[in-house]
């Protein structure tokens, strides 16, 4: 693939800063509220992953699924997004974000947006995802909605 990406915002990608409410016990943060997100992206499942220091996940994309990532810490992540939707006004745009401990935020990634992230902080980091589709469908009996680019040596979606 020979694409030329433009570093700019991507339509439909949403970044929602998350406020940590800190007291002597630690902190609490609201990840999502049904009165703040559209019904079409309301979570159907959630998972948490631990990403070791210096480790990258992705790039991959979904055909139908919207990801609702929460980057809260205890580390920071570099996230790269590429708009791979040919009908989008921001097709071939690329975004680079730094979210996590120093900027806690939710990141809404719609279908057709290739995404990858790397733990660039000094600690192992947690990432929460509350996706709007079930992974591999009901009872995990369907194909996973993923297009994986990370093992393609010729991919245009290079994490730099």
Those residues whose C-beta lies under 8 Å from the C-beta of residue 31, and which sit 6 or more positions away, are: 18, 70, 106, 128, 130
Please report, for the chain, the start and end positions of each structural domain, with discontinuous segments joined by +.
6-148
Please state the CATH superfamily assignment of the domain spanning residues 6-148 in this structure.
Jelly Rolls (2.60.120.10)
pLDDT for 38-51, tens place per residue? 999 999 999 999 99
pLDDT for 46-86, tens place per residue? 999 999 999 999 999 999 999 999 999 999 999 999 999 99
Read off the DSSP letter of residue 101. S
Q: How far is CA 124 from the centre of its chain?
A: 17
Own/partner contacts of 134-142, CB < 8 Å, gap of 24 or more, are 134/44, 134/45, 135/45, 135/47
What percent of the residues of the chain are helix, what percent strand, and what percent coil, each to the nearest 5? 5, 40, 55
């Amino acid at each position: 693939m020979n694409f030329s990406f433009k570093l700019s915002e991507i339509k439909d990608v949403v970044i929602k800063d998350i406020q940590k409410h800190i007291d002597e016990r630690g902190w609490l943060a609201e990840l999502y509220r049904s009165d703040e997100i559209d019904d079409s992206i309301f979570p159907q499942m959630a998972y948490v992953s631990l990403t070791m220091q210096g480790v990258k996940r992705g790039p991959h994309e979904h055909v139908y699924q919207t990801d609702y990532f929460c980057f809260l810490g205890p580390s920071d992540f570099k996230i790269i997004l590429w708009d791979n939707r040919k009908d989008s006004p921001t097709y071939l745009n690329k975004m680079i974000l730094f979210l996590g401990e120093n900027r806690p935020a939710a990141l809404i990634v719609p279908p057709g947006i290739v995404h990858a992230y790397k733990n660039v902080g000094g600690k192992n980091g947690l990432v929460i995802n509350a996706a709007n589709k079930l992974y591999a469908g009901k009872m995990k009996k369907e194909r996973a909605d993923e297009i994986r680019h990370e093992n393609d040596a010729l991919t245009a979606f290079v994490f730099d």
